[in-house]
Chain A
């Protein structure tokens, strides 16, 4: 812990920067996110440092507004999906038997339908409001978290220290909280970093189909899609939101790498 490597500093800086954008983005934006202040796809100029989007709105302002939406939706969905997936996965692993069977087959069933299609059906039926969007993504994503959590917990549950705890008469809550969770954290933290990034792209995919974040609200994934035709003409516009997504992704993964370095426990290795 005492020596933080350069890569981790870069990651922390990127996350810090995004946190500021997430909290204060709209306050920093020079223009409104719906304001048309220039010509479509105009390049950067003084006062509009990142140029304009396909409707002539200020790119910088939309990026700043979009930070709240994009990071908020992804973070919310991932946190929720982990809160669902981890306890259920641990529960299935510890109980085993029919509990495990029922939960696992349910998850298999959900996973057998392509995520995008399930999401489309749910969002179409319930309408695409923000809470529905977040909960839908979280539920679909939690199946993957469940699988990982169950697998890791099964490995820990057969360790002798878990056996000692069971023989001591510990309850389910203690097993999950004290024996399994602390030892399962490394792979789960790594998965958190990955899932966060995937969710970003998934939200963008949904927006493309008109079921994600609804216009006129800006979100980074949606902005890439809206401006994508610009790339054919060698314009900068789609690069800015894409770069924003890339930076968050890189930042999160650098920090996750650092947190995991030297802390992964090789199971069954007793040397």
Chain B
């Protein structure tokens, strides 16, 4: 096979001279899909962009060579690089919504590339666009292009972006987490079409992701990255079945475990702590939740699962008192729960704590760890001075952070550490109920695993009750006593986690379970065959 992209000893550094990539080498053959996998900060996207001769945010290519079909890009002039970008090598970003210009129709943006590069006439570009739309199974190809980005669904927009990238018939696609922002059921479709389209036109691809199970379905070879250096490379089978490096082994093991562990947890549960009956809520006149009945017993973990738009986070906001319900009753510890948090006495506020998805915005950037954790102690328990400092140190110990961290500002913490601080802040209030809203979604797999382990430990030690909101079924599997599946603001199915996973009653639950990518190469094909048949 002939190499279309040859990168040798690539080094990229930031404007301030910090080296992000420490000598990466890779080869991409014609028609091959090469997976780049690693956690955030590993340099995956940096490699993808550097392959186009581009450095993001002031980064520059400081060493090495990038040979694209015989043209050397690393030392090429800006004009030469621009001639290649979009035409020979094109980029598909994670968030299609952010990559399309909201003020232009889709077709305008898709034919722009071929016209700008002068590789096709307007008529040819349009015909090619329609062919791509058809290949990507977009509805009514003729009419689709005339829509604006906000008029199509997330999965369709992501496919439209693939069409945009393919518009100049490039040799190489750089796919940067193209399905990460999508729901699991949509992810399957996009993944299958992406693979089909790439194979059909013989395009090569660099596929960047943090999800091993996803990349297993599509990549021929994998490169595992960490801290800007290659850790391991090989064929996909080889890495999944016989990882050589310790880090790769942990990655594979974590994913395998989360997918195969026995479903369900069994905690000793007590009396009913939270009860919702007939709850409906919405924003303005738009109803989001309807007819929600839910009980949570003391000491158990109840998981709320659903895709985006299912109303699961809205449910969390209703329980927290941030969104008063329009109908229905809330009971907490055998007493009615005032609908709005402003009407709840301070002690009631203390007993229900909320942990958010994005620790970056859930922590005040100008308050140190000690201030953040110390405030609930001060407010609810009246601790001061030495007693306060001792309790903060104790809490830091509980969440596994060194006491020296107390004086740091959130900016000097990693994502996982920030989420730990958020947990400690909630814990400081000694709550009865913790609402965890997608607490691991923004974290890397291994870090997420540690956070889940921490939450489980706190439950074992303190008998904590969790209302766990997530879209990730593999998280639910190991954590929840009971699981509630939501779709479009209603509860579809609620059952013991074990029952739900082994014998789902509803078709939607089954579909959701089937959509979780498995860690073997044949999974996507099996699902597609099962659906087709």
Contacts and interface: CB of A to CB of B under 8 A. Distances in A.
B363 interface: yes
A3 to B, nearest CB: 12
Contacts of B322: 163, 167
Contacts of A164: 354, 356, 362, 425
Interface stretch (B111-119, B364-372, B388-396): B364-372
Given A167-B354, A168-B349, A169-B346, A160 B341 contact: no
Interface in B96-127: none
A173 B442 CA distance: 32
A159 interface: yes
Interface string A164-202: 111111100000001100110000000000000000000
A134 to B, nearest CB: 31
Contact of A270 (B320, B321, B360): B360
Interface residues of A, number: 19
Nearest to B429: A168
B157 to A, nearest CB: 20
Contacts of B375: 168
Contact of B361 (A160, A170, A179, A182): A160
B234 interface: no
A265 interface: yes
A49 interface: no
A173 to B, nearest CB: 13
A169 B349 contact: yes
Interface in B306-351: 320-322, 341, 346, 349-350
B198 interface: no
A203 B429 CA distance: 53
Interface in B67-103: none
Contacts of B320: 167
Contacts of B346: 169
Interface string A123-147: 0000000000000000000000000
A156 B145 CA distance: 38
B288 interface: no
A164 B376 CA distance: 11
Contacts of A178: 364, 367
A161 interface: yes
A270 B366 contact: no
Given A168-B375, A169-B379, A265 B349 contact: no
A245 B510 CA distance: 74
B358 interface: yes
B45 to A, nearest CB: 10
B263 to A, nearest CB: 31
Contacts of A270: 358, 360-361, 442
Contacts of A183: 364-366
User: In terms of DSSP, what is the predominant structure of the interface of chain A?
Assistant: helix
Contacts of A162: 364
A178 B371 CA distance: 10
A166 B317 CA distance: 13
Contacts of B364: 161-162, 165, 178-179, 182-183
A52 to B, nearest CB: 52
B356 A160 contact: yes
Nearest to B411: A265
Contacts of A163: 322
Given A167-B321, A183-B366, A159 B379 contact: no
A167 B361 contact: no
B99 to A, nearest CB: 15
B356 A168 contact: no
A161 B363 CA distance: 5
B362 A160 contact: yes
Interface in B368-419: 375-376, 379
A265 B341 contact: no
Contacts of B360: 270
A107 B366 CA distance: 30
Contacts of A166: 341
A167 B358 contact: no
Nearest to B349: A169
B365 A265 contact: yes
A165 B319 CA distance: 17
A159 B341 CA distance: 17
27 contacts: A159-B361, A160-B358, A160-B361, A161-B362, A161-B364, A163-B322, A164-B354, A164-B356, A165-B364, A166-B341, A167-B320, A167-B321, A167-B322, A168-B376, A169-B346, A169-B349, A169-B350, A170-B379, A178-B367, A182-B366, A182-B367, A183-B365, A183-B366, A265-B365, A268-B361, A270-B358, A270-B442
Interface of A: 159-170, 178-179, 182-183, 265, 268, 270
The 10 closest A-B pairs by CB, nearest first: A182-B366, A161-B364, A160-B362, A169-B346, A270-B360, A169-B349, A160-B361, A160-B356, A270-B358, A159-B361
Given A159-B361, A164-B362, A270-B442, 14 more contacts: A160-B362, A161-B361, A161-B363, A167-B321, A167-B322, A167-B349, A168-B349, A168-B375, A168-B376, A169-B349, A183-B364, A183-B365, A270-B360, A270-B361
